Amino acid sequence: MRLEFIEKVKEDEILGKNIYTDDGSILLRAGVKLTANYIKKLKQLGVLYIYVDDYRLDDVYVEDSRLEEIKINAMKNISNVVKNINNGDRKGTRESISFVEDMVEHIIEEGDITKSLYDIKTYDNYTYMHSIDTSIMATFLGLSMEFNELELKDLAVGAILHDIGKTRVPRRIICKKGKLTEDEFDEVKKHPVYGKEMLEKQFSISNKALSAIEQHHERIDGKGYPYGLKDEQISKFGKVVAICDVYDAISNDRTYRKKFSPNEAYELIMAGTGTMFDQKIVNNFRNTFAVYPLGCCVRLSSGIEGYVIRQNSKYPDRPIIRILYDSETRKPTPFYEIDLLQNPSLVIEAIV
């Protein structure tokens, strides 16, 4: 399977992975032949890349079928979570968020992070997909930090509800295209407080989960919001969700700016060590998440282009690359592979 920028997708290629609406329904099913109209519509929906079938990369499998089921269930239920919270329905909230336990248990038992990220986000499904992906990332990161199962479930709940307070921010501000005014941004900065206020009295949400919701925009250097907390004043739950929230958000297109590529987003997390983010947690992040997703095409410092087919554990920027064609002539070449861990003189220069 190949991960391809939508601008490079050709007619008659076969979609490799389902694309979903915000309620978990299938917008476009894997296996469909991509017509010019389909490609045009995906661009209009804000899709930046998709997976397409490619026999040369048929051993690159990017789906965890069980986690996919859990994500679909999450998308179907997350709107109910928001509605139940806003209506003060404690029982309904508990039932509608039960998918978090399934997700955490699956990740503990057999989760594979290389198959768990890079769902296709559209303008319409972005909000829910962002919350779900942030929760999945936080769970994997918490697992690498040796959180116990109860802590992981609290972390996952806090991560999936981290932006619930935005439902109290006027929609005209949330959906505004262009730069926010100072007053508008001040209102947005209240959403962590709104989130905690919405949940702390009426719902069985743990204090640890609440700390993730309230503190996910705090910074180690004290320049975050809403309270300007510093380092040890911030809970480890808030610190974990902060990293995962930023990484997923900047890896995807938003109404107010163009997306970063995965490697740029990764570098921003690294650059924020000690100012925005806790150094120990960033180290765990680096050992947990790869820079370059499976199936993407990269250009090496030698000028050769190839596709990421496997990751090297704990070496996030040194994957194994499969070369399919001559980079100068663009003609097919006998397939061969380059393991960047075994070739230290080569580095990845760009995703192409």
**Alpha helix stretches (DSSP H) within 201-260:** 207-215, 236-250
Tokens of 111: 């989760």
In a domain, 59, yes or no: no
Cα distances (angstroms) measured from residue 139 to each of 23, 160, 164, 236: 23, 10, 18, 13
Domain assignment present for residue 166? The answer is yes
Examine residue 57 and state whether it is found in any structural domain, yes or no: no
Q: What's the predicted TM-score (pTM) here?
A: 0.89
CATH of the domain at 16: 3.90.105.10
Is 146 among the domain residues?
A: yes
Domain finish residue from 239, 269, 290 = 290
d(CA 21, CA 121): 9
Distances in Å between the Cα of 138 and the Cα atoms of 44, 83, 248 are 30, 24, 11
Structure confidence at residue 256 (pLDDT): 40
Indicate if 224 and 119 belong to the same structural domain.
Answer: yes
Summary count for the chain: helices (H), strands (E): 13, 9
How far is it, in rounded angstroms, from Cα 230 to Cα 287? 25
Rounded alpha-carbon distances, angstroms, from residue 79 to 35, 128, 181: 32, 8, 29
Alpha helices in the chain (DSSP H): 36-44, 65-86, 90-96, 99-110, 126-144, 149-160, 171-174, 182-188, 191-200, 207-215, 236-250, 262-271, 279-288
Which residues, including other chains, have CB under 8 Å from residue 310's CB and lie 6 or more apart?
A: 294, 319, 320
Which structural domain, as residue segments, surrounds residue 347?
A: 296-351
Last residue of a domain, one of 290, 311, 341: 290
The reply to whether 58 falls in a domain is no
How far is 219 from 241, CA to CA, in rounded Å?
A: 12
Tell me: do 196 and 221 sit in the same domain: yes
309's tokens: 């087919």
pLDDT tens string 196-231: 999 987 677 899 999 999 999 999 999 999 999 999
Domain count of the fold of the chain? 3
Residues 247 and 329 grouped into a single domain: no
The verdict on residue 39 lying in a domain is: yes
Among residues 301, 304, 333, 330, the alpha carbon closest in space to that of 317 is found at: 301
- Same domain? 284 vs 333: no
* Same domain flag for 32 and 166: no
Torsion of CA 134, 19, 348, 267, to 10 degrees: -20
Q: Are residues 95 and 197 in the same domain?
A: yes
- In this prediction, residue 253 carries a pLDDT of 52
What one-character-per-residue DSSP string does 81-114 give? HHHHHHTT-HHHHHHHTTHHHHHHHHHHHH--GG
> Contact 257/178 with Cβ under 8 angstroms?
no
Averaged pLDDT score across all residues of the chain: 89
Residues 127 and 255 in one domain: yes
Same domain assignment for residues 125 and 257: yes
3-state SS, residue 183? helix
Looking at the structure, tell me whether residues 42 and 78 fall in a common domain.
no
Position 60 in a domain: no
CATH of the domain at 226: 1.10.3210.10
Residues 247 and 344 in one domain: no
Tens-binned pLDDT, residue by residue, of the chain (352 aa): 999 989 999 999 999 999 988 888 889 999 999 999 999 999 998 888 899 999 999 999 887 888 888 888 888 888 888 888 888 888 888 888 888 999 999 999 987 777 666 666 776 777 788 899 999 999 999 999 999 999 999 999 999 999 999 999 998 998 888 889 999 999 999 999 999 999 987 677 899 999 999 999 999 999 999 999 999 999 999 999 999 999 988 876 544 445 556 778 888 999 999 999 999 999 999 989 888 989 999 999 999 999 999 999 889 899 999 999 888 888 888 999 999 999 999 999 988 8
Residue 186 shares a structural domain with residue 265: yes
Query: Which of 247, 272, 290 marks a domain boundary?
Result: 290
Domain assignment present for residue 342? The answer is: yes
- 286 and 307 inside one domain: no
